[in-house]
Structure 1
Amino acid sequence: MDQEPGKRMHILLIEDNPGDVTLIEEILKDSRTRNALHVARDGEQATKFLRRMDGYAKAPRPDVIVLDLNLPRKNGRELLQEIKSDPDLKSIPIVVLTSSESEEDITRSYELQANCYITKPVELAQFTRVVRSMADFWFTIVKLPSKEV
């Protein structure tokens, strides 16, 4: 397992659906990892968080970003491109977690260097399994880049 004992993993969830946010919060609370979930409700708020602007001066650098594509103000595709084009942010893994099953969205997300693409399951039990598996994978299996990079 990769997570250092006692180390808190920071997740930036960029999601505008309050129901999905609440569900993901609850699932992560029950996970085996110590995590801190930070939520941005749109692309502009996410940009401010990542660049530590306005009220986010003390925001931590996320270990992983979970990104919905269909966001208000600045959509997830624009945000993905912006993050992966920024030398200070591009090493942060991005998990696209979205309702879109469009082959175009899948292909474009990988072209923009998303680390994985997951379609949100509709059924609660399956959604729970997917989020738990995602957390286990990113925080107990893979080796994440140092935040100093």
Structure 2
Amino acid sequence: MSDSHTFQAEPAQILLVEDNPGDVRLTREAFKQGRIENDLHVVSDGNEALSFLSQEGEYADAPRPDLILLDLNLPGKDGEDILEELKNDPALRSIPVIVLTSSSAEEDIARSYELHANAYLTKPVDPDEFIETVRAFEKFWFSVVRLPPEVDRS
């Protein structure tokens, strides 16, 4: 018996903004094990993230992500700056942003939601728990939630 509603015609496009190679590896692993067909794109700092989203330079052919996973502590522009720019851009603000960070500081959580993050997850230290966390929100965001359609940018 197939579970047809979990399969999408197109792979989900996910942008991971993360500068820690270990966390990038764990996130890749979690998505590989998951049920959702996806293309995981990784950038390691805030400026690269904005270039990817604006399709500038080497990212001219970058797809529009269905979901953005954003670390707060990044070199250069930090996660809060990116979140603010994204949510102020009419062409990009409908893309759900999940803050996935090691900070459990209440002010970071409050600030992320003020900047319109769609969810805030604290990275578990244990690698197996980290993978479980990523798989749980993958299932939620791609099986349960209806994602916004792409808005016409013309």
Is the 1:42–1:72 contact (alpha carbons within 8 Å) kept by the matching residues of 2? yes
Map 1:20-59; keep pairs closer than 5 Å.
Answer: 20-59=23-62
Q: Which amino acid aligns with 1:119?
A: T
Distance, in Å, in 1 between the alignment partners of 2:132 and 2:101 is 15
The aligned residue for residue 144 of structure 1 is: 147
Shift of 1:148: 3.4
Is the 1:69–1:98 contact (alpha carbons within 8 Å) kept by the matching residues of 2? yes
Shift of 1:143: 0.2
Distance, in Å, in 2 between the alignment partners of 1:5 and 1:74 is 33
Shift of 1:2: 6.0
The answer for unaligned runs of 5 or more in structure 2 is: none
Structure 1 runs of 4+ with >6 Å offset: none
The aligned residue for residue 91 of structure 1 is: 94
Map 1:119-134; keep pairs closer than 5 Å.
Answer: 119-134=122-137
* Counterpart secondary structure, 2:48: helix
% identity of equivalent residues: 52
Map 1:54-133; keep pairs closer than 5 Å.
Answer: 54-133=57-136
CA RMSD of aligned residues (A): 1.3
Distance, in Å, in 2 between the alignment partners of 1:98 and 1:84 is 19
Distance, in Å, in 2 between the alignment partners of 1:65 and 1:3 is 20
* Counterpart secondary structure, 1:117: strand
Distance, in Å, in 2 between the alignment partners of 1:72 and 1:60 is 23
* Counterpart secondary structure, 2:141: helix
Instruction: Provide closer, same or farther for how the CA distance between residues 33 and 127 of structure 1 changes in structure 2, counting only shifts above 3 A.
Output: same
Q: Which amino acid aligns with 2:71?
A: D
Shift of 1:6: 3.0
The answer for unaligned runs of 5 or more in structure 1 is: none
Instruction: Using structure 1 for the length normalisation, give the TM-score.
Output: 0.96
Distance, in Å, in 1 between the alignment partners of 2:14 and 2:95 is 10
Instruction: Using structure 2 for the length normalisation, give the TM-score.
Output: 0.93
Instruction: Provide closer, same or farther for how the CA distance between residues 29 and 48 of structure 1 changes in structure 2, counting only shifts above 3 A.
Output: same
Equivalent pairs, count: 149
Distance, in Å, in 2 between the alignment partners of 1:111 and 1:95 is 13
The answer to whether structure 1 residue 16 and structure 2 residue 8 are counterparts is no
Shift of 1:5: 3.3
Shift of 1:4: 5.2
Is the 1:2–1:143 contact (alpha carbons within 8 Å) kept by the matching residues of 2? no
